[in-house]
Structure 1
Amino acid sequence: MNDVAAAAGVSQATVSMVLNGTRSGRVSAATAQRVLDAAKDLGFRTNVHAKVLREGKSRMIGLIGDEVATTEFAGEMILGAQQEAWRQGYVLLTVDTAGDPGLEKAAISMMQSYRVAGVIYAAMYHRKVEVPATLAGIPTVCVNSQDASGSLTSIFPDEVAGGRDAARILLDAGHRRIAMINIAPEGSPLPAATGRLQGFTDALADAGLLLDPRQLRYGDGAYEDGLTFGAELLSRSDRPTAIFCGNDRTALGTYHAAHLLGLSVPDDVSIVGFDNQSLLIPMFSPRLTTFQLPLVEMGRLAVAEVLSGSSTPKRLAVDCTLHSRDSVALAKVPA
């Protein structure tokens, strides 16, 4: 700072105020610019360790998650968090625990040592989580998950609204014989499965329809479920004219089941998926109508909430975006 002060012709105190953003009303804009130009010319860098000791926290935000570095979904979430952190003058410190409790404990300890400004506790897939007690005292937000205790802010996809919108797409196209292949066994607490089914059945009920239990299948979200259950549904004498698949992998299997039965998508059966997985989308012909998980937006919101200073826990359900493509057609009027 003394070198910058000499180059700019000001005091070291003036340099400190300008570089630390505390000059308001005390240093003119022209003088501040002169200081910034001198700092740039001299290659000045803030002493981060000294700054942490003085302020009690760093300009880092921790992100801890299970398998966050090895899934397509997590990359988008990290991107959103990283962009918002950078916009607010912070950097993101990411640790993938691979579901190892020992590694998670070590990661939290490391972040405490670095005095991070807050922690984003992320999950690979939407579910309820038990947040480690060692995070107490650090601003923490759950993302793509829900804090089981309800004491922390949780940011997650609005699964119910997604299921409701999927049904409405098919209803608006005139379909009334509609099936669903879910992504978890019956009775599973998985929020993506329960929420999408609830929204789907609610929308059918609003239209005066009940989901026929014979037109509902429970899988695990795998391609094989779509292949098996799709074949079962489409082999029925009262086969559905439309199927809502709880994720894109199931939808891909259902496409292939229809093809093996000599049926066409969407002429014989309309299909809606969920997730908009970029690795799978090119495999669909015709292109799949599906919903985009709001991963980038959830990452951005997580950082904003961590830095907001709010102590009031929130439940933020974020809308999933529809990608309307070619897999839904108007229902054929029965002869």
Structure 2
Amino acid sequence: MSEKNNFIDYIRIFCRSGHGGAGAKHFMRNKLTAKGGPDGGDGGRGGHIILRGNSQMWTLLHLRYFKNVLAENGEGGSKNNCTGHDGKDIVLEVPLGTVARDEETGKIEAEILEDGQEIIWMKGGRGGLGNSNFATPTNQVPEHAQPGEPGVEGWKNIELKVLADVGLVGFPNAGKSTLLSVITAAKPKIANYAFTTLTPQLGMVAYRDSKSFCIADLPGIIEGAAEGKGLGHRFLRHIERNAVLLFLIPADSADHRKEFEILRNELEQYNPEMLQKDFIIAISKSDMLDDELKEAISKELPKGIPHLFISSVTQTGLTALKDLLWETLNKPVAGN
């Protein structure tokens, strides 16, 4: 049970593609031929390790159970010019938005963005050529056959950045899970304590005329996340691809402006490009506010960022929120 609550967005895994089979060194021998020519076959290719996109997957949880991913070696060549069998490929299915890197260099080796997309991540070694390939008019009995090429191996990191149109940003217990459960079909586990959400919850928001968009409740940010405290970077990485960031600040916050500034500051320290995104502020739990308090809070909030008051409990303001999110996601890009 606890396994399901883990924040699965990062897996460290040891991978090795298959070695190529060796080419055979063999000369034709049968009862009619005492000393025939070379007939050593080629070795088979080693198995590849392949990544395949699967739009039905949302986490990397299933990869936790692979401690080592070892593809099969190619078979050696044999007499009668028989080529060895290729090693069996290993296909790892991953969610969309998965990035694979080499641990040592940090280099991105593959990125999966589409359903069914396949990338040969680690190529199997080529099979060696058998000695029949090396016969020449001057050397009709080549003693040489190639060994197979080795596969590649190493520690790899697989990361998942959630692909969602809207990212929900807020301190723990800001009401993000409750909002998601009300406006989407997602059913997150909700409890009234910090860090309830440890897996990004994704939900589709049904909008007018059969349109929809995706919203992600991401694990709660805390002050200092950019330095790696708390869930830190593992959380912030998920926000990189969201087009719109919806800052959820509870009505009962001691200082709404300060809470927004802390959240914004975390994002900026992690990656200044985050500030290029569209921001929207929603004051949650606002069923406890009267008009006078709403006006006071509105004055506190930064100018130039749209804000609205919502209540997931009474469902107040949710239609206006969906409208604003849809308009922001679909506004024409400047210069087009």
TM range (shorter): under 0.3
Where is the strand percentage greater, Structure 1 or Structure 2?
2
Q: Which has the larger radius of gyration?
A: 2
- Greater length-normalized contact order (CA 8 Å, ≥ 6 residues apart): 1
TM-score for the superposition, normalised by structure 1: 0.26
| TM-score, length basis structure 2 | 0.26
